[in-house]
Structures are given as C-alpha cells and as structure tokens.
Amino acid sequence: MKQGRKITGGKYHARRKRRLHETDGQTRVVRLGKNKSKTLRIKGGSLKPVLLSAEYANIIDKKTHKSRKAKIKNVLETPSNRFLARQNILVKSAIIETELGKARITNRPSQEGSVEAILIE
C-alpha cells in the first residue's frame, strides 16, 4: 500500500491548527453601570460599536408604539443563565427593572453598542 493510506485504502488527513478567522473573539460582558463603550475594527475594515457597561435602555411600549429612554435599576432574571442576573450582566432576553417598569432586552448589547428593550406587564 502507498504511504498515507489506511488498510482499507482510505486517506489519512493531516490535522491542522485553527486559522485566524476561525478563532473565537474576546468575550465581552456588558455590566450595569455608567455608560462605557468602544469601537472595534472588524473583518473588512468596518467599525463596530461595542458596549462595556450601560446605564440607560431604549424602551418600546407595545401599546403606544413609542420608544423612550429609561434608566436601568436592576437585572431581575436571565433565562439563559441565572448567575448572570446576580452579577447585573445585560444579555439578550434578560428581564430588567427600569423607571418605566419591567422590560425584556431584545438585542445583543455586547454586539450592537446599545440596549433595546420591550416593556412587559
């Protein structure tokens, strides 16, 4: 048999490392606190606003279809991971307490640079 072949005739494939584009990015955690953000250069040379901590959220009321800016008081619960709520970390689908009432975060703050939420009853 030729070198690099299995006994059945199949090829052995050489293992390789990850390429740069395949590697994971740095995990960003958006905490509750004074507004803090930065911009990152992403693939293709574009700029991406990244949120590090947030104090306010853009909240949409379903009934009136109007949006208002409100201060976030606390993170009540996070369905994806209960420990994130204890540390006041803002992630998608987290229930937050605001000046206007309870709201659910609808975007990914670590990816978009702002906190968008919908008021819940």
Query: Which of 3-7, 22-26, 101-105: highest mean pLDDT?
Result: 101-105
Per-residue pLDDT reduced to its tens digit, 90-112: 999 999 999 999 999 999 999 99
pTM: predicted TM-score of the whole model, two decimal places:
0.79
At residue 13, what is the residue type? H
pLDDT in tens, 46-86: 999 999 999 999 999 999 999 999 999 999 999 999 999 99
pLDDT of residue 2: 67
Domain extents for the chain?
Answer: 25-119
76, amino acid identity? L
Please list the helix, strand and coil fractions of the chain in percent, rounded to the nearest 5, in that order: 10, 40, 50
* Whether the Cβ atoms of residue 51 and residue 113 lie closer than 8 Å to each other: yes
The hierarchical CATH code for the domain 25-119 is 3.10.290.70
Q: Which helix (H) or strand (E) holds 38?
A: strand 36-41
